[in-house]
Structure 1
Amino acid sequence: MKTKPMLVKLQSALGRDGLPQPVVLSPGKRFFETDWAQPTETINLVVGYSGSPNSLTALDLTLCMAHQTRLATQRPVMVHVVYVIEGKQFEQADRILYQARYLAEEWRGSLTTHLQFGRTAAGLKEIVTSEKADLLVLGCHSEKHSLVKQLVSTLPCPVLGIPQSVKRQRPQPAAAMAPIGRS
């Protein structure tokens, strides 16, 4: 199963039109050429997460993609949530990462949380590289966003974002979703 058709089927499962095109912030070659139906290693999806409404939408989308990919490919999919602390916000980190773990439980997904210190772009790049990520999902709306500009030239994987038109309308958890199926 190629990735582009998977995104189209995800769009259908979410009941949203125009999802695949607007969300591609950086079309990494490896992602779109990978045949995810081949039983190989775990698929690693990384999401930048800050607890903001946009990052929460990005996490929902990533968990939904992971669930649908597991159903369609029978391959393990791991979602890596990355929260980067740039200042003295350490007390917020536990609450924000707890929120991400709770959401993953709703989707019955495999999730690992990562707490990074320093610049956001550097922290995300470190996890993308160390986990050999197949995809990075951000709550950004445009390839012109400063974080996307800092990342796209240095990452080995593509970056997906959320369309501007998408508001915080959560997809239904795994138990209520129909599988995407194979193509």
Structure 2
Amino acid sequence: MLVRLQSTLGRNDLTEQMVLLPEPNKPQTAESVNLIVAYDASPKSHAALDIAFWIAHQTRLATNAQVTVQAVYVVEENYNNQYPDIYHSAKYLPTLECPVSNLSKSVTSVLTQPKLSAITPQLQDKLLAPLQEADRIIWQARSLAEEWQGSFKSHLRFGDVGTELRKVVELEAADILFLGCRSVNHPIIKTLGADFPSAVLGIPNCIDD
């Protein structure tokens, strides 16, 4: 995949620039390719998503493999510091992994579950704020995927970023996780751990050229 990207950009150093964690030793299949992108609507995560779409497109043209691009947004666990008075109730929210078209409906059904029935309207508004922001971000990823015209999925997760990304990569048997960072010294790389179940690619420095 990176060889094709290098050829297109006229570079020969993308592997050195982009591989943040190497590909683990595991059985490979030529029938399907799963690319996961950690997306938070930042410019760098936009770049990571664009690279994933480009690689998916080129892979689909060059092979008969089914290629799926997936965007993952994690509502970080530190939002309990922003809303300490509702975190006890918010922690009952299950992981939401659903098509974007069903996201708002799913959020509504979660909030009306009995475990959260005692929340006052004011606290419920505070609880909805990070969910509404997550809804906006996931919708943005979906709109960027429209030109891809391939298989696309989105995930909304709650908790520690590194832990939740690992869960999605394992669940989807992903081949690559794309991150919007450039260095192996980025804090998120340390949270992923050395035994991460897929290769981890960042964005190359040359995209600013």
TM-score of the pair, normalised by structure 2: 0.69
From 22, 36, 47, give the equivalent of 1:27.
Answer: 22
**C-alpha distance in structure 1 between counterparts of 2:190 and 2:14, whole Å:** 21
Task: Indicate the percent of aligned positions where both proteins have the same amino acid.
Answer: 45
Question: Could you list the runs of 5+ residues in structure 2 that have no partner in the other structure?
Answer: 80-128
Give 1:38-53 correspondences, 5 Å limit.
38=30, 40=31, 42-53=32-43
- Matched position secondary structure for 1:153: coil
Are 1:7 and 2:2 an aligned pair?
Answer: yes
Give 1:148-167 correspondences, 5 Å limit.
148-167=189-208
Residue by residue over 1:4-39, the C-alpha shift from the partner in whole angstroms, topping out at 9 and shown as x without a partner, is xx31212233x25232320000112348x84x6x4x
Aligned AA (2:15): P
Residue by residue over 1:131-183, the C-alpha shift from the partner in whole angstroms, topping out at 9 and shown as x without a partner, is 1111111001101111011114242111000123423x9xxxxxxxxxxxxxx
Q: Which structure shows the higher helix fraction?
A: 2
Work out the number of aligned pairs and report it: 157
Tell me, yes or no, if the aligned pair for 1:30 and 1:157 is still in contact at 8 Å: no
Q: Larger relative CO (CA 8 A, sep 6+): 1 or 2?
A: 2
From 119, 123, 145, give the equivalent of 1:104.
Answer: 145
Offset of residue 97 of structure 1: 1.0
- RMSD over equivalenced CA pairs, Å: 1.9
From 149, 154, 157, give the equivalent of 1:116.
Answer: 157
Offset of residue 117 of structure 1: 0.5
Tell me, yes or no, if the aligned pair for 2:166 and 2:197 is still in contact at 8 Å: no
Tell me, yes or no, if the aligned pair for 1:44 and 1:77 is still in contact at 8 Å: yes
The match for 2:175 is 134
- After TM superposition, where is structure 1 displaced by more than 4 Å over at least 4 residues in a row? none
The match for 2:65 is 75
Aligned AA (1:12): S
Larger Rg: 1 or 2? 2
Question: Could you list the runs of 5+ residues in structure 1 that have no partner in the other structure?
Answer: 1-5, 170-183
